[in-house]
Each structure stands twice: as structure tokens, then as C-alpha cells.
Structure 1
Amino acid sequence: MPLAALISAWRDDYTHHRPHTSLDGLTPWEYRQRSVEGQNPNRAN
């Protein structure tokens, strides 16, 4: 696999799939799902 593809895959995983402390330990996907369902009490409107 070319280096650029490896870096791109790492960046995607790091940004979108790992838990973020700024999102209370949730992944961006989990945070988005909870926001849609109205379950994020800290969410700024």
C-alpha cells in the first residue's frame, strides 16, 4: 500500500473513529447520533 494511502487511512481513523475528549469520550459518529436523538446535554445550540 502506498504511503499516502496509509496516511490517509490513519487520518480517517484518528479523526472519525477514535473517542475524542472534547466529545466526552465519544467518537464523532456516536456524538452525532446522540445529537440527532437529543441526548447530548452539553450541545451548544
Structure 2
Amino acid sequence: MRVTTSLAELNKTDFAVFKQLSKIFENNNAVWAMIAHIVFDALDPNL
């Protein structure tokens, strides 16, 4: 899947939840991840 959304929009929408979760779990030594096969053009347009 290829996502062409701007980085500014991704930060306000898709990535906001993960930033909040990382702050919540920061001091708990928790390890978590979400895996998907997504190419974000705003992060690496050369892929």
C-alpha cells in the first residue's frame, strides 16, 4: 500500500496516536510495535 498524504497531515492524524502511546509507555519498559506493509511517500519518496 502506498500513502501519499503529507507529513504534516500524517503527524496530525495517523501518527498522533502512536506518539501518545509512546509517551504513556515511555517509563514502563514496554515493547510494542505495529507492523504493516505501507510506503509513506512523505517519509521516503524514493521507494
TM-score norm. by structure 2 comes to 0.32
Of the two, which has the highest radius of gyration? 1
Higher percent of residues as strand? 2
Higher relative contact order (CA 8 A, sep 6+): 2
Higher percent of residues as helix? 1
TM-score norm. by structure 1 comes to 0.33
